[in-house]
Structure 1
């Protein structure tokens, strides 16, 4: 399995680009935060539910690969494969008592993404495990500042699945949405 990592700073601004590095420490992908559409932002600020932002995954050169968005925060999530221009609905379902899992169909394949009790995310394609995403302990990056980073580890059978798992984990599970 290929291995990728990324680090999320304590404060992420709308202009923050989070690089995802491969085993050679080269930038394979970038996660970019993007605001919802105007009406969705108003709904989110009023109700305080759903994910506050959507996320886009780009390759190392900034070309968009996948975008997750929703009509209103918490309602009708959509995944856009920017390479094929295909947009599909992401359906959430309850597993266990309070946990949610997400499924969608893309390029004639059924995908299922869920998190277990340890906080690790699992991406399955046609019932085969293709990627795992987990978070390690926070690292203090400076002796003089109280600057902490969360390090996210991705193990995947292919680079495509790694990127897809990263944007799904960051959108649905990292911020506890």
Structure 2
């Protein structure tokens, strides 16, 4: 597996586009966050969900790869794969106030995104681990997050980043 560490400010709510830059200062991806409009924010807060952003990850040139958003009409999370032009529902298997296990099926492959006992999130595709992502404890700060990613492919890295920002960093803003 290949690795990279990237840094983002803790309060990403002021940023619309977050460059995911590796240690050599090479931009790997662009992570865009979008605010939900006021009525939707109010609805999410009434449902006791702290998800105020939806995310889209793109290549360094801006070509979309994946996006995750909450579908109010269907009351579920949806992931869109722009590479293969498909969409799937994301299923959550633990209480909403805890980080847990998320699963979805894209392009005839079953994905599982889950947290282990030490706080690392693992992304599996058809039972095979394809990426890991976690906050690095060495540099934890109140102003920035250092996030370490190990991955098999760049697509796996981008998918783990967008899942991590949507479901794991939601309470840190």
Q: Same fold (TM over 0.5)?
A: yes
- TM-score scaled by length of structure 1: 0.83
1:108-161 deviation per Cα after TM superposition (whole angstroms, max 9, x unaligned) = 111000112322110000001110001113466xxxxxx721100100011110
* Bigger shift: residues 125-134 or 77-86: 77-86
With structure 2 as the length reference, what TM-score do the two structures score?
0.85
Q: Deviations over 1:35-65 (max 9, x none)?
A: 2356422312444424111111111112211
User: What runs of 5+ residues in structure 2 fail to find an aligned partner?
Assistant: none
Residue range with higher mean Cα deviation, 83-92 or 29-38: 29-38
Change (3 A) 1:23 1:148: closer
Q: Which SS does the other structure have where 2:110 is aligned?
A: strand
SS in 1 for 2:168: helix
Q: Distance in 2 between matches of 1:23 and 1:12?
A: 20
Report if aligned partners of 2:65, 2:83 keep a CA contact under 8 Å in 1: yes
**Counterpart secondary structure, 1:94:** coil
SS of residue paired to 1:160: helix
Contact 2:16 2:34 in 1 (8 A): no
Query: After the TM superposition, which residues 137-156 of structure 1 pair with which residues of structure 2 at under 5 Å, given as runs?
Result: 137=137, 138=139, 148-156=143-151
Of 157, 162, 174 in structure 1, the residue corresponding to residue 169 of structure 2 is 174
Tell me which residue corresponds to 1:161. 156
Mapped partners of 1:37, 1:76: distance in 2: 17
Residue aligning to 2:32: 32
- Counterpart CA distance in 2 for 1:126 and 1:162 is 16
Q: Is the 8 A contact 2:6 2:22 kept in 1?
A: no
Match of 2:21 in 1: 21
Tell me the C-alpha RMSD between the 2 structures. Answer: 2.6
1:93 is matched with: 93
Q: Secondary structure at the match of 1:114?
A: strand
- 2-structure distance, mates of 1:126, 1:14: 37
Quote how far apart the aligned CAs of 1:174 are: 1.6
Q: Determine helix, strand or coil for the equivalent of 2:42.
A: helix
